[in-house]
A and B are shown apart, each in its own frame.
Chain A
Amino acid sequence: MEHIVIIGNGISGVTVARHIRKLSDKKITIVSAETNYFFSRTALMYVYMGHMKFEHTQPYENWFWKKNRIELLKGFVTSVNHEDKTLILAEGKELTYDKLIIATGSKPNKFGWPGQDLKGVQGLYSKQDLDQIEENAPNKEVCNRAVIVGGGLIGIELAEMLRSRKIPVTFLVRENSFWNGVLPSGESEMINEHILEHHIDLKLETNLVEILSDENGRAKAITTDKGETIECNVVGLTAGVTPNIDFLKESGIELGRGVKVNRLLETNIKDIYAIGDCAEQHEGIGNRRPIEAVWYTGRMMGETLAQTICGNPREYSPGHWFNSAKFLDIEYQTYGWVFSERSKKEHENHFHWRHASEKICITVAYDKDSKKFLGINTFGIRMRHEMFDRWLTEERNIDYVMEYVKDANFDPEFYSHYEEEILSKYNSVMKTNLSPKKKSWKRIFNKSPKSQPMRHS
Chain B
Amino acid sequence: MKAIQNIGLVIFLIGLAVFAAVPVLGTYKLDQNTFDEIVKEKNIKSDVFIQAINQNVVSKDFNGMLSLSPAISSALDAANSQHRKNKEYKKVIYTSGHDMAALVGKKSGAGFIAQNKGLMWFLTFGLGIIGALMFILPNVVLLGKKGIKNDGIYHESATNKGWIAWMVFVFLVSFYLVLYFRPEFAVNWTFLVDPISQSLSGNPAGHWFVYGFMYCVVMTVMAVRMYIKYRHNVYQMVRTTSVLFFQIVFAFLIPEIMVRLQMPYYDFKNAFPLDYDFFFQWNLKSLLDSGGIGLFILVWGVVLTLVIVPVMVYFFGKRWYCSWVCGCGGLAETLGDPYRQHSSKSLFSWKVERWLIHGVLLFAVVMTGMTLYSFFTESGTVLGIKTQSVQNTYSLLIGAIFAGVIGTGFYPIFGNRVWCRFGCPLAAYLGFVQRFKSRFRITTNGGQCISCGNCSTYCEQGIDVRAYAQKGENIVRSSCVGCGVCSAVCPRGVLKLENGPEQGRINPTEVLLGNDVDLMELVNKK
Contacts and interface: CB of A to CB of B under 8 A. Distances in A.
Asked whether A and B interact, the reply is: yes
Interface of A: 11, 19, 22, 40, 42-43, 46-47, 49-53, 56-59, 61, 164, 197-198, 295-296, 299-300, 303-304, 307, 314-320, 322, 324-326, 328-329, 331, 333, 382-386, 389, 410-416, 441, 444-445, 451-453
Contact of B155 (A50, A331, A453): A50
* Interface residues on chain B, size class: 35 or more
Contact of B493 (A43, A59, A303, A324): A324
B519 A307 contact: yes
B374 interface: no
A43 B147 CA distance: 17
Contact of B470 (A50, A59, A451): A59
Interface in B436-483: 443, 445-448, 450-454, 456-457, 466-467, 470
B230 to A, nearest CB: 11
Most buried by A among B234, B456, B501, B516: B516
Contacts of B500: 441, 444-445
A304 B516 contact: yes
Contacts of B523: 303, 307
Contacts of B514: 296, 300, 318-320, 322, 385, 389
Interface string B146-164: 1110111111100000000
B54 interface: no
A47 B152 CA distance: 9
Contact of A445 (B154, B454, B501): B501
A420 to B, nearest CB: 17
A445 B504 contact: yes
B145 interface: yes
A299 B517 contact: no
A453 B503 contact: no
Contact of B516 (A19, A331, A382, A453): A453
A53 B341 CA distance: 10
A40 B452 contact: yes
B290 interface: no
Nearest to A393: B517
B235 A43 contact: no
A307 B521 CA distance: 13
A11 B150 contact: no
A16 to B, nearest CB: 12
Nearest to A447: B504
Given A19-B510, A50-B150, A445-B500, A42 B450 contact: yes
10 nearest A-B residue pairs (beta carbon): A385-B446, A329-B147, A382-B493, A43-B452, A414-B234, A50-B152, A51-B150, A40-B451, A50-B155, A300-B515
A163 B467 CA distance: 30
B262 interface: no
A406 B209 CA distance: 49
Contacts of B492: 324-326, 331, 333
Given A53-B154, A318-B516, A331 B493 contact: yes
A51 B488 contact: no
Contact of A412 (B147, B487, B515): B487
Contact of A319 (B233, B443, B516): B516
A198 B154 contact: no
A59 B515 contact: no
A51 B145 CA distance: 17
B484 interface: yes
A409 to B, nearest CB: 9
10 contacts: A50-B156, A51-B489, A57-B453, A59-B467, A295-B450, A300-B516, A304-B519, A331-B491, A410-B493, A453-B517
Contacts of B496: 382, 410-412
Nearest to A331: B493
B232 interface: yes
B511 interface: yes
Contacts of B153: 50-51
B243 interface: no
A333 B451 CA distance: 16
Contacts of A296: 447-448, 450, 514
A416 B233 CA distance: 10
A384 B448 CA distance: 10
Contacts of B457: 51-52, 56
Contacts of A59: 451, 453, 466-467, 470
B169 to A, nearest CB: 20
Given A50-B155, A382-B496, 11 more contacts: A46-B453, A50-B150, A56-B453, A164-B152, A299-B447, A320-B514, A333-B448, A333-B492, A385-B513, A386-B445, A445-B501
Contacts of B470: 59
Nearest to A301: B515
A329 B146 contact: yes
Nearest to A44: B452
Most buried by A among B233, B234, B446: B446
A382 B494 CA distance: 8
Contacts of A53: 154
Given A43-B452, A324-B493, A197 B145 contact: yes
B170 interface: no
Contact of B448 (A319, A322, A451, A453): A322
Nearest to A444: B500
Nearest to B491: A326
Contact of B515 (A295, A303, A411): A303
B317 to A, nearest CB: 12
Contacts of B233: 412
B43 interface: no
A319 B235 CA distance: 33
Given A49-B150, A303-B515, A453-B516, A329 B232 contact: yes
Nearest to B237: A414
B512 interface: yes
A43 B450 contact: yes
A43 B466 CA distance: 12
Contacts of A410: 443, 445, 493, 496
Given A319-B515, A410-B493, A441 B501 contact: yes
B346 interface: yes
Contacts of B513: 319, 385-386, 389
A198 to B, nearest CB: 7
B66 interface: no
Nearest to B146: A329
A155 to B, nearest CB: 16
Given A300-B514, A322-B448, A413-B497, A51 B154 contact: yes
A40 B457 CA distance: 13
Nearest to A197: B145
B235 A385 contact: no
B306 interface: no
B78 interface: no
B147 A328 contact: yes
A89 to B, nearest CB: 28
Given A198-B144, A319-B517, A322-B447, A46 B501 contact: no
A129 to B, nearest CB: 16
Given A314-B519, A331-B492, A412-B487, A51 B448 contact: no
A319 B513 CA distance: 8
B347 interface: yes
A67 to B, nearest CB: 10
Nearest to A161: B151
Nearest to A359: B145
A410 B444 CA distance: 10
A63 to B, nearest CB: 8
A335 B228 CA distance: 33
A434 B495 CA distance: 30
Given A43-B451, A50-B151, A412 B145 contact: no
B238 interface: yes
Nearest to B451: A40
A384 B519 contact: no
A52 B154 contact: yes
A258 B316 CA distance: 50
B400 to A, nearest CB: 34
A199 to B, nearest CB: 9
